[in-house]
Amino acid sequence: MNPRPRKIKLLRWLPRRLMLTTGPAKDNGLYLSFDDGPHPGHTEAILDLLAANDARASFFVLGEQAERHPELMRRIAAEGHLLGNHSYDHPSFPRIPIAEQMSQIERTDQLIAAFDGRQRHLFRPPSGRFSIGLLLRFAFERRRMAYWSYDSLDYRRVPAERLVETMRRHPPAAGDIVLMHDDNEATTQALAMLLPEWRAAGFSLRILPV
Ligand SMILES: [Zn+2]
């Protein structure tokens, strides 16, 4: 398992105002991000762990999950984390027209706005898949996508020990945006072990710049 796939390095050639692949490395910033939530039973546990380790993170939520779980959305915002947009219901973006992609994004922006008062949010495409067409549309509308530079590979549904072992063997570096998911037990268990280690290593866990 390699947390740094080659395709991610290619995205670094895009302007940062359009595509964020890393955060500021200054003062050992590390940027955890959680996709596909909020999920009752998992998001709360992750919020508890973040609070216990004086850590902030970015949550790329699905519009449909935000509608179902407003109490979790309120808690994420109230505890100083960043809310990001991960589409309304996670379709495969390259398979639907651009107009439909934009309506997924705009509908979700409106839902999230009820919790953080912001009209627009960093957007992370479902499964990280997007077309040049959407990228051009983002450039035209001066919107920004947020990718990641470090993939925890937690969606492979492997045991927490395996996730921890991989991340210890290939430790994240200052500035990395770490991809995770707040929808499963293994991620929570892995974080319980890794967060104190990352704090001890001097990392400051922060929200992404918007
Ligand atoms: Zn996703």
Over residues 30-87, the pLDDT tens digits come to: 999 999 999 999 999 999 999 999 999 999 999 999 999 999 999 999 999 999 999 9
Q: Report the separation in Å between the CA atom of 195 and the middle of ligand 1, taken as the mean of its atom positions.
A: 22
User: Rounded to the nearest 5°, which phi and psi values hold at 51?
Assistant: -60, -40
pLDDT score at 129: 96
Does the pLDDT value for residue 12 go beyond 90? no
d(CA 47, CA 139): 33
**Residues 181/187, Cβ–Cβ less than 8 Å:** yes
d(CA 66, CA 80): 17
Residue 10 lies in a domain: no
Query: How would you write 36-47 as a 3-class SS string?
Result: CCCCCCCHHHHH
Q: What residues sit around ligand 1, an ion, with C-beta below 5 angstroms? A: 35-36
- In a 3-state reduction of DSSP, which class is residue 130? coil
Q: Report the separation in Å between the CA atom of 59 and the middle of ligand 1, taken as the mean of its atom positions.
A: 11
Does the pLDDT value for residue 128 go beyond 80? yes
Residue 111 lies in a domain: yes
pLDDT score at 1: 75
Residue 35 a catalytic site member: yes
pLDDT score at 8: 79
How many domains does one find in the chain?
1
Average pLDDT over residues 185-209: 98
Residue 176 a catalytic site member: no
Average pLDDT over residues 143-169: 96
Kindly list the distances between the CA atom of residue 82 and the CA atoms of 55, 118, 161, 163, in Å, as whole numbers in the listed order. 12, 11, 28, 24
pLDDT score at 5: 74
Residue of 11 and 106 predicted with greater confidence: 106
Which CATH number fits the domain that encloses residue 75? Answer: 3.20.20.370
Q: What is the residue range of 89's domain?
A: 21-205
Q: Please enumerate in sequence order all residues whose Cβ is within 8 A of that of 79, keeping only pairs 6 or more positions apart, or say none.
A: 47, 50, 51
Average pLDDT over residues 125-147: 97
Residue 188 lies in a domain: yes
Q: Report the separation in Å between the CA atom of 96 and the middle of ligand 1, taken as the mean of its atom positions.
A: 16
**Residues 175/25, Cβ–Cβ less than 8 Å:** yes
Does the pLDDT value for residue 6 go beyond 80? no
From the candidates 35, 36, 151, 154, give the one annotated as an active-site residue. 35
d(CA 134, CA 202): 37
Q: Percent of the chain at pLDDT above 70?
A: 100
Q: Terminus-to-terminus CA distance in the chain, angstroms?
A: 30
pLDDT score at 56: 98
- In a 3-state reduction of DSSP, which class is residue 178? strand
Residue 33 lies in a domain: yes
From the candidates 39, 69, 121, 181, give the one annotated as an active-site residue. 181
Residue 11 lies in a domain: no
Does the pLDDT value for residue 158 go beyond 80? yes
Q: Report the separation in Å between the CA atom of 35 and the middle of ligand 1, taken as the mean of its atom positions.
A: 5
Q: Report the separation in Å between the CA atom of 128 and the middle of ligand 1, taken as the mean of its atom positions.
A: 8
Whole-number average pLDDT of the chain: 96
pLDDT score at 184: 96
Rg of the chain over all Cα atoms, to the nearest angstrom: 16
Residue 12 lies in a domain: no
Residue 2 lies in a domain: no
d(CA 91, CA 101): 9
Average pLDDT over residues 166-187: 97
pLDDT score at 2: 85
Residue 15 lies in a domain: no
